[in-house]
Structure 1
């Protein structure tokens, strides 16, 4: 029986969803709380001028409240008289201005915040980076499988891109079984270094861990090897 895997939202998806509250707060409050998103953006972006902008919007909201409070009303709270209508209309216009101007400026700030999220572009996730991150995740899962159930990993041909297979391990190479040319290609090594790895493997009867090959690999290539290599029991 298969067990469904939990769906984890990407950081970009979460950021896009959460940043929409800027518009919700501004519109629902009819501009009274349009200053709040600017405070949030100032914190996220580290830009002090945004605090000034927040103060301007807050002052405008206070002015709108003052206009409404000055409008004369009858016993039932209904605005009366030409002065009341004028003050109410002025507050209404100011509220609309706060909503329109606020949403326009908040939209720009929202895009700036999304740029801070890895893998995000203005038009959504960067395809190349998203694919690279997905491949890294698959490598992590394949390594876990190789550790927990090496027999299944071997049957799935984890780390053997040179053999026919259906399992996607994200681009791993098994240092204990792959040919020298495959090790060189996947790990970005020169042919001579890959051949030394194969010779050391044969002499030692296999590697117990990826780090065992570092005696034959230049230090500059260690991170690439750690990222792409796996060792399955022989």
Structure 2
């Protein structure tokens, strides 16, 4: 997949090529387009227009009055269709519909940047939970089930959220989530992931997979 940066306004000038050449050069814009947006489709289109132009030149009779000749009709179609087709293709390129393809490397960089930004949000939110627990409670850190405006990066407070949040956000089964809530009510709170594993039937792999977003508030009811 190739990368095409911000199609320029000059692309629309290619519409004049098939128009003023009476369709004979209808292949040229698509030849240029195949180099800018590397798609087999554009190469095929260019080849078809080129073949049609050659056939028209070879078989159009010298008698200009023979307007019903198939080659004349084909030449007229290539002229009209080629001009319209070029206008549509270049307009799409200009909008970015056909031309702005992101490379795999660019997509990967964007995904990595987004993941790092989420990780930084979680780091700051964890710091607030430790250093300013009251403010963290008011900001409802780790409480995706409650209305809030602060973005904590997707943290989930195991000591406060209802069972359905554990299911939706962590992918735990309903039975596992209900057990966690029941044990939490009996113990008062979980201190960390080790206690979560020790006092419930949750597989360690499930807890480890969720460690990036798990937090354990200082007391039951934080953020309620």
> Which category of TM-score, normalised to the shorter sequence, fits these structures?
0.3 to 0.5
Using the size of structure 1 for normalisation, the TM-score is 0.45
Using the size of structure 2 for normalisation, the TM-score is 0.47
- Structure number with greater CO (CA < 8 Å, separation at least 6) is 2
